[in-house]
Amino acid sequence: MRFAAYEYRRQHRAAVVEDDGTLHPLPGHRSLDDLIRSGDGLPSLLDVGHAALDAPAGPHVSEVRLLPPLRPAAIRDFVTFEEHVEGVRRSVSGESGVPEQWYAAPTFYFTNPHAIYGAHDGIPVPPGSAALDFELEVAAVIGREGSDLSPERARDHIIGYTVFNDWSARDIQSAEMRVGLGPCKGKDTASTLGPWLVTADELEPYRDPEGFLRLALTAEVNGEVVGSDLLSHMSWTFEEMTAYASRGSRVVPGDVLGSGTCGNGGCLAELWGRRGERTPPPLVCGDTVTLTVEGIGSVSNTVVAGSEPVPVPAARRRPRDRP
Are 119 and 296 within 8 A, CB to CB? no
Residues of the chain with pLDDT under 50: none
Question: At 302, which amino acid appears?
Answer: T
Q: What is the reported pLDDT for 30?
A: 84
The residue count of the chain comes to 323
Q: What DSSP line would sit under 196-213, residue for residue?
A: EEEEGGGGGGGB-TTS-B
State pLDDT tens for residues 93-103: 777 889 999 99
Percent of the chain with pLDDT over 70: 100
Q: What is the pTM of this model?
A: 0.96
- Please state the φ and ψ torsions of residue 154, each to the nearest 5 degrees: -65, -25
* Spatial contact of 148 and 247, defined as CB atoms under 8 Å apart: yes
**Residue 1 contacts by C-beta under 8 Å, 6 or more apart in sequence?**
16, 45, 46, 49, 198, 199, 201, 202
Give the pLDDT confidence score for residue 132 in this predicted structure: 98
* 191-199 and 158-166 strand pairing: antiparallel
Q: Can you tell me whether residue 163 is helix, strand or coil?
A: strand
SS3 172: helix
Q: What is the DSSP secondary structure assignment for residue 105, as one 8-state letter?
A: S
**DSSP, res 64:** S
220-235 exposure pattern, b = at least 16 Cβ within 10 A, e = fewer: bbeeeebbbbbbbbbb
The pLDDT of residue 156: 96
In angstroms, how far is the first alpha carbon of the chain from the final one? 65
User: Would you report the helix, strand and coil content of the chain in percent, each value rounded to 5?
Assistant: 25, 30, 45
Residue 103: C-alpha distances to residues 16, 33, 78 (Å): 39, 34, 13
Rounded to an integer, what distance in angstroms lies between the CA atom of residue 153 and that of residue 150? 5
pLDDT at 96: 80
Backbone angles phi, psi at 62, to 5 degrees: -70, -15
Nearest-10 crossing angle of helices 268-275, 82-92 = 70
Domain ranges across the chain: 2-67, 75-304
Give the pLDDT confidence score for residue 181 in this predicted structure.
Answer: 87
Rounded-to-integer distance, Cα 15 and Cα 278, Å = 42
Question: Could you report the per-residue pLDDT of 305-323, keeping only the tens digit for each?
Answer: 999 999 999 999 999 998 8
Q: Does domain 75-304 have CATH number 3.30.300.30?
A: no
Strands (E), the chain: 2-8, 11-17, 23-25, 65-67, 75-78, 108-111, 116-117, 123-124, 132-133, 136-142, 158-166, 168-169, 191-199, 216-221, 224-230, 256-258, 288-293, 297-304
Nearest Cα residue to 168 out of 72, 256, 272? 272
What's the rounded Cα separation, in Å, for the pair 320 and 298? 54
